[in-house]
């Protein structure tokens, strides 16, 4: 049995035991939450292993990819929203990427008070070098799903994310 199968068995048994002690526990939803978190953590760990030789982590790479797909550039505050990062971390990310020569930071031509971050030619070359080796792992992660399964999974995950967003927007606690 693989280590992951052991982990899944342990998770299922633990949730069932908690369900026996607290009958109101929404076991299926807890199991789905844990599965999503486990899938995300596993994929993130693998991605960061691939990024490490390039001196990048997930948030650096995500920001670089956003700028790669946004040729006109973006402000740091826009990047905070798109990359789901706080202002302090976006400053750190920007500093790392500027220092590596992968992006530039300059005043906007329209509004000199606004800073715009744009990807450099070196940043574009790095993205084009890094992405293709990631494709087999991305494809392999969904190899057991057919095209219809993938569309369904995407649709359902989008719905779950919107539900999560709705719950957190309506939650008055910090």
Q: Rounded to two decimals, what is the model's pTM?
A: 0.84
The pLDDT value given to residue 148? 98
DSSP H or E run through 119 = strand 115-119
Residue 88 C-alpha from the chain's centroid: 18
pLDDT above 70 coverage of the chain, percent: 97
* CA dist list (Å): 119 to 17, 125, 129, 141, 145: 51, 10, 15, 29, 35
* pLDDT tens by residue, 37-66: 999 999 999 999 999 999 999 999 999 999
Which residues are registered as beta bridge partners of 116?
Answer: 106
Q: Is 31's pLDDT higher than 90? A: yes
Average pLDDT over residues 156-168: 92
Q: Which is higher by pLDDT, 83 or 24?
A: 24
Answer yes or no: are the C-beta atoms of 58 and 51 closer than 8 Å.
Answer: yes
The pLDDT value given to residue 111? 81
Which of 84, 87, 95, 96 has the alpha carbon at shortest distance from 54? 96
Tell me the helices (H) and strands (E) count for the chain, helix number first: 7, 2
Q: Is 147's pLDDT higher than 90? A: yes
Q: Is 171's pLDDT higher than 80? A: no
The pLDDT value given to residue 2? 81
The pLDDT value given to residue 174? 59
- Per-chain mean pLDDT for the chain: 92
* pLDDT tens by residue, 100-140: 999 999 998 888 888 999 999 999 999 999 999 999 999 99
The two tokens of residue 36 are 């999503």
Answer yes or no: are the C-beta atoms of 119 and 67 closer than 8 Å.
Answer: yes
């Amino acid at each position: 049995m693989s280590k992951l199968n052991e982990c899944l068995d342990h998770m299922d048994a633990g949730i069932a035991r908690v369900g026996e002690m607290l009958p109101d526990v929404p076991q299926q939803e807890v199991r789905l939450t844990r599965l999503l978190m486990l899938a995300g953590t596993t994929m993130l760990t693998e991605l960061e292993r691939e990024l490490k030789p390039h001196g990048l982590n997930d948030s650096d790479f995500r920001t670089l990819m956003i700028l790669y797909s946004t040729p006109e550039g973006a402000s740091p505050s826009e990047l905070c929203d798109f990359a789901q990062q706080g202002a302090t971390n976006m400053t750190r990310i920007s500093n790392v990427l500027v220092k590596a020569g992968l992006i530039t930071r300059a005043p906007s031509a329209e509004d000199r008070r606004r800073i715009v971050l744009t990807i450099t030619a070196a940043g574009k070359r790095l993205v084009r070098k890094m992405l293709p080796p990631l494709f087999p792992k991305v494809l392999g992660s969904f190899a057991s799903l057919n095209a219809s399964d993938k569309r369904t999974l995407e649709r359902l995950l989008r719905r779950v994310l919107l539900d999560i967003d709705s719950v957190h927007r309506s939650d008055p606690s910090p």
